[in-house]
Chain A
Amino acid sequence: MSYALPPYAEALGIGVDPADAASPVLWFDYSDRVSGRPGFLHGGAMSGLMEMAAIAALQAELERRGEAMRLKPVNVAVEFMRGGTQQRTFASGTVTRAGRRVALVNASCWQDDPAKPIALAQLKVLLSPAE
């Protein structure tokens, strides 16, 4: 997969694991850069990680189909369920529906156990054929 992480993801120290999976898992380690209230992860950092994971999943899906599309995020809804603690945080996306014009992608964020997400996100992305 030829998914290149943007400067924001690089700066946050986001890693992709493994980069060629159907739905890549993105992660970052806990640091002051991603902390919110003392000792806990910032919700915005979780959201950023989930958005990156959702876009990565969508790009992987479009690549499998051989479709070159320009992506434009329309909106994102994030639910925070648990406080993120001082450890590695993961996120991955699932393409729920990708039509010709719009895609719906769900993403989850977890720490210890993927079955116990700390946050969920749902993204809508407008698709248009790349020039």
Chain B
Amino acid sequence: MTSVDAPLNLHDLPSDYAFDPGIAATMMTRHGHGGWLGIAYHAHGPDWVELALPWREELVGVAETGVLASGPIISLMDNATSMSVWTLAKRFIPHATLDLRVDYMRAAQPGRTVIGHGECYKLTRTIAFIRGIAHDGDPLDPVAHVTGTFMATHGNYL
């Protein structure tokens, strides 16, 4: 059996590595919090990334209703917006979430997969400004809206 020579972790990537959201999502969601949540790659564009969070019993916030807890939605949006920054920058730069604000517009339908659409709308040398929505089927009827910032911790975005 041959082992794949791909780095197991984003932090092991060479600095000139062209960022690929599909491959990176697989790395990010194989283990850790994202892996436990079951977050998976969905789609991406030049400055945006979509990740999917399938509904499951363990992630429910209100047992009586089956509605997803808000924690998993925040994690989904943190990951999707984080990846949108690297997608726009075209490379992986270690960074940290400075802040995140989430508006809950309605409860996600129990049983439905939630899609997190994260977009980086402005990149400076050290700060990335992000926004995004989470929806459960119809992007025009989101369950949540987020805004926030990331800071490059080792190196610069530009």
Contacts and interface: CB of A to CB of B under 8 A. Distances in A.
A6 B74 contact: no
Contacts of A130: none
B14 interface: no
Nearest to B11: A38
Contacts, number: 114
B34 A42 contact: yes
Contacts of A43: 74-75, 78, 97, 100
B104 interface: yes
A49 B62 CA distance: 15
Contacts of A77: 99-102
Contacts of B34: 36, 42
A3 interface: no
Given A73-B104, A80-B96, A83-B96, A44 B33 contact: yes
Contacts of A80: 96-100
B63 to A, nearest CB: 6
A35 B32 CA distance: 5
B141 to A, nearest CB: 17
A127 interface: no
Nearest to A33: B36
A37 B58 contact: no
B139 interface: no
| Most chain B CB within a 10 A radius of its CB, from A10, A43, A78 | A43
A119 B33 CA distance: 17
A33 B31 CA distance: 8
B57 A38 contact: no
A73 B11 CA distance: 35
Q: What class of interface size applies to chain A in its complex with B?
A: 20 to 34
Q: What class of interface size applies to chain B in its complex with A?
A: 35 or more
A75 interface: yes
A16 interface: no
Nearest to A78: B100
Contacts of B68: 8
Interface string B11-30: 10000000000000000000
A58 to B, nearest CB: 14
Contact of A75 (B59, B94, B97, B102): B102
11 contacts: A4-B63, A7-B59, A8-B72, A9-B69, A43-B78, A74-B104, A76-B74, A77-B99, A78-B101, A79-B98, A79-B99
Given A43-B100, A51-B69, 18 more contacts: A6-B69, A7-B57, A8-B68, A8-B71, A8-B72, A33-B36, A35-B33, A36-B33, A38-B11, A43-B78, A44-B33, A44-B71, A45-B75, A75-B101, A76-B101, A77-B102, A78-B99, A80-B99
